[in-house]
């Protein structure tokens, strides 16, 4: 009885508050229009779920091979509260939106009845999951048109242990990492390997009402990546949410890293509000990842000659994959591959000038500014915005946003779809804890889309 009681106590720290007797662990995201399959990897006999997005299924074979299909590898949390099937289900809408192939391995490590929680050592189950995941990746690349040069490691809840571990031990197999309300421990990571993933983009998402152990271990993850000098590290602390599934934040992050665009606006993402984060994370939520830092060239460092991704906007070195699937020739980008966003507007406090529109002048000493994803764009324009202010105000000040005099929201940041062409004035009013009020504004111009194509980020900044 004591062993059962110990397991119940440990698991309750994670599952009881967040699941509310399972209701919080259900998948609220609607299903997609693609195909979901359960497949058994032939060498390890490990099952996994594979979701092929709607456009992938509808493509002719030649068209399918000509297009890039980034791969999302999502690691589930504690069974039975989260499973590989649930992960495949929660990602379907985002997969259809961005054209992602999604794979969710069935893991042995995270099980309410047999697993260790919290995880503090590399045990037999973790090593088994590591071997199986690598084999599953090989199998997916052999049987689908998934892009081996664009692979996201992501997780929810205790699956974070695996997501962090896989990037740390196999950086050549992954492009970036985005963990959502996830667990973390440094005890299973090897700091001597960090030089090989130092420039991989990493995003840590936590929420205001998350369970305590996930909040604390997310903070540990932030400290670990910052202390090890990761060059493209972002973290955000989302307002009001609990231990909820948020694949939209990771999907948007991956799209900006991989250089792909959604086929329709990310409606759920538009409602996310941050109450804290580092500058890169807040800029990301405002609609702009900015320009990624690049590792030294091979001429500058022999070490970086072995790193799979160079983080240039338009091309990458080939991923070094062991076995017959490896290729000695450089991978060429697809002809329609869009570059990563070149603009750094979201990281700059000053508003971008717009021809023909008089800009409100901001005094040099003004403590408040507005960051926007686009000051000029085509209809319908998804406008993402965030406040540029002292970091302590993010938690203590009140924020109010207006568009042409109409209230559109509160909080540090937000998003708004502007459907009609015209000139608009975005205003921000900030009231500090001491009662001081600060105002600033940004002009936005929406152009008529003559080609009648969806353009979410067609900026002319």
**CA separation for the pair 211, 190 (Å, rounded):** 27
- In a domain, residue 453? The reply is no
Q: Are residues 105 and 37 in the same domain?
A: yes
Q: Are residues 298 and 354 in the same domain?
A: no
**CA separation for the pair 87, 24 (Å, rounded):** 14
**CA separation for the pair 66, 208 (Å, rounded):** 42
**CA separation for the pair 42, 37 (Å, rounded):** 15
> Is the sign of the CA dihedral 251, 37, 336, 378 positive or negative?
negative
Q: Are residues 296 and 352 in the same domain?
A: no
Q: What is the CATH number of the domain that holds 419?
A: 2.60.40.10
Q: Are residues 297 and 365 in the same domain?
A: no
Q: Are residues 266 and 360 in the same domain?
A: no
pLDDT score of 249: 93
**CA separation for the pair 48, 166 (Å, rounded):** 17
Contact 422, 323 (CB under 8 A): no
The residue out of 306, 334, 361 marking a domain boundary is: 306
What is the residue-level pLDDT of the chain in tens, covering all 461 positions?
Answer: 334 444 434 444 444 444 433 334 688 898 999 999 999 999 999 999 999 999 999 999 999 998 999 999 999 999 889 999 999 999 999 999 999 999 999 999 988 777 789 999 999 999 999 999 999 999 999 999 999 999 999 999 999 999 999 999 999 999 999 999 999 999 999 999 999 999 999 999 999 999 999 999 999 999 999 999 999 999 999 988 999 898 999 999 999 999 999 998 887 887 788 888 998 888 888 777 777 888 876 655 554 444 444 333 333 333 333 333 333 333 333 333 333 333 222 322 333 333 333 333 433 346 888 887 767 777 777 787 888 888 778 778 888 999 999 998 887 777 788 888 888 999 999 999 888 999 999 888 887 775 444 334 444 44
pLDDT score of 1: 38
Write down the residue that tokens 């840590």 correspond to: 204
Is 0.85 topped by the overall pTM? no
Q: What is the CATH number of the domain that holds 178?
A: 3.40.50.1820
**CA separation for the pair 388, 209 (Å, rounded):** 25
| Structural domain of 381 | 348-447
Nearest to 274 by CA among 263, 283, 266: 283
Q: At what angle do helices 2-19 and 212-227 cross, to 10 degrees?
A: 80
pLDDT score of 57: 96
Number of structural domains the chain divides into:
2
**CA separation for the pair 47, 125 (Å, rounded):** 15
Environment class of 278 (CB within 10 Å of its CB; exposed 0-12, middle 13-18, buried 19+): middle
Q: Are residues 264 and 363 in the same domain?
A: no
pLDDT score of 85: 96
pLDDT score of 346: 30
- In a domain, residue 316? The reply is no
> Is the sign of the CA dihedral 448, 449, 455, 459 positive or negative?
negative
> Within 13 Å, how many C-alpha atoms sit on residue 171's CB side?
21
């Amino acid at each position: 009885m004591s062993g059962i009681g110990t397991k119940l106590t440990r698991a309750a720290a994670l599952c009881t508050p967040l699941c509310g007797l399972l209701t919080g662990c259900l998948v609220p995201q609607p299903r997609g229009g693609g195909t979901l399959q359960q497949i058994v990897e032939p060498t390890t006999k490990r099952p996994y779920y594979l979701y092929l997005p709607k456009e992938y299924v509808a493509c002719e074979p030649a068209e399918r091979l000509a297009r890039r299909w980034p791969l999302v590898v999502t690691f589930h949390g504690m069974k039975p509260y989260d499973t590989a099937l649930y992960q495949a289900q929660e990602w379907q809408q985002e997969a259809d939106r961005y054209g992602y192939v999604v794979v969710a391995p069935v893991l042995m490590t995270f099980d309410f009845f047999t697993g260790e929680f919290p995880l503090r050592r590399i045990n037999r189950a973790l090593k088994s999951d590591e071997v199986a995941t690598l084999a599953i990746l090989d199998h997916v690349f052999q049987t689908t048109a998934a892009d081996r040069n664009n692979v996201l490691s992501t997780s929810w809840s205790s699956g974070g242990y695996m997501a962090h571990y896989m990037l740390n031990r196999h950086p050549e197999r992954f492009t970036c990492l985005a963990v959502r309300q996830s667990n973390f421990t440094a005890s299973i990571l090897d700091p001597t390997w960090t030089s090989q993933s130092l420039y991989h983009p990493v995003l840590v998402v936590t929420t205001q009402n998350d369970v305590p152990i996930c909040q604390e271990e997310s903070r540990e993850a932030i400290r670990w990546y910052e202390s090890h000098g990761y060059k493209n590290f972002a973290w955000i602390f989302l307002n009001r949410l609990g231990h909820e599934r948020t694949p939209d934040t990771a999907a948007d992050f991956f799209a900006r890293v991989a250089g792909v665009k959604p086929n329709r606006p990310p409606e759920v993402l538009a409602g996310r509000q941050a109450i804290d984060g580092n500058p890169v994370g807040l800029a990301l939520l405002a609609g702009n990842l900015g320009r990624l830092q690049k590792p030294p060239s091979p001429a500058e460092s022999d070490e970086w000659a072995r790193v799979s991704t160079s983080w240039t906007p338009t091309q990458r070195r080939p991923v070094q994959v062991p076995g017959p699937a490896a290729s000695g020739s450089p991978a060429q980008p697809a002809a329609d591959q869009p570059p990563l966003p070149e603009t750094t507007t979201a990281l700059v406090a000053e508003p971008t000038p717009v021809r023909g529109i008089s800009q409100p002048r901001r005094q040099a000493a003004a403590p408040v500014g507005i960051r926007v994803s686009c000051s000029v764009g085509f209809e319908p324009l998804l406008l993402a915005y965030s406040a540029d202010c002292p970091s302590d105000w993010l938690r203590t000040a009140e924020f109010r946003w207006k568009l042409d005099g109409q209230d559109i929201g509160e909080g540090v940041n937000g998003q708004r779809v502007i459907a009609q062409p015209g000139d608009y004035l975005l205003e921000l009013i900030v009231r500090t804890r001491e009662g001081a009020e600060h105002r600033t504004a940004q002009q936005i111009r929406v152009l008529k889309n003559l080609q009648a194509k969806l353009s979410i980020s067609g900026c002319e900044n």
